[in-house]
């Protein structure tokens, strides 16, 4: 499948705060999902969010959620966390 997105960027808080608290195996699963799904079709694979996260989308990866925004041909990953507390 052809890539629609040319770039995936992560907020510093994701790299330094969110990912270190997730097991290595889950990190690999999350990164694979981001690369395979968000680079090819971030709209199809992500669900739009509401309320304070309006304008963002979420990708489900097992029990984790990836919160992101689409800005042109760039996907900006805003937060990664467990489904129970990622939306807070």
Q: How far apart are CA 34 and CA 74, in angstroms?
A: 12
Residue 5 has pLDDT above 80, yes or no: no
Averaged pLDDT, 43-69 = 95
Which positions ≥6 away from 5 have C-beta within 8 Å? 38, 39, 40, 42, 70, 73, 74, 75
The range of the structural domain enclosing residue 36 comes to: 7-82
> Domain total for the chain?
1
Q: Is residue 78 part of a domain?
A: yes
Q: Is residue 16 part of a domain?
A: yes
CATH number, position 35: 3.30.2310.20
Q: Per-residue pLDDT tens for 43-55?
A: 999 999 999 999 9
Residue 2 has pLDDT above 90, yes or no: no
Residue 25 has pLDDT above 80, yes or no: yes
* Residue bearing tokens 């790299």: 15
């Amino acid at each position: 499948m052809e890539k629609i997105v040319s770039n995936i960027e992560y907020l510093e808080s994701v790299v330094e705060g969110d990912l270190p608290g997730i097991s290595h195996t889950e990190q690999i699963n999350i990164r694979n999902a981001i690369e395979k799904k968000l680079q090819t079709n971030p709209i199809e694979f992500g669900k739009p969010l509401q309320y304070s996260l309006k304008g963002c989308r979420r990708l489900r990866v097992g029990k984790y959620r990836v919160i992101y925004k689409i800005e042109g041909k760039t996907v900006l990953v805003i937060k990664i966390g467990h489904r129970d507390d990622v939306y807070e």
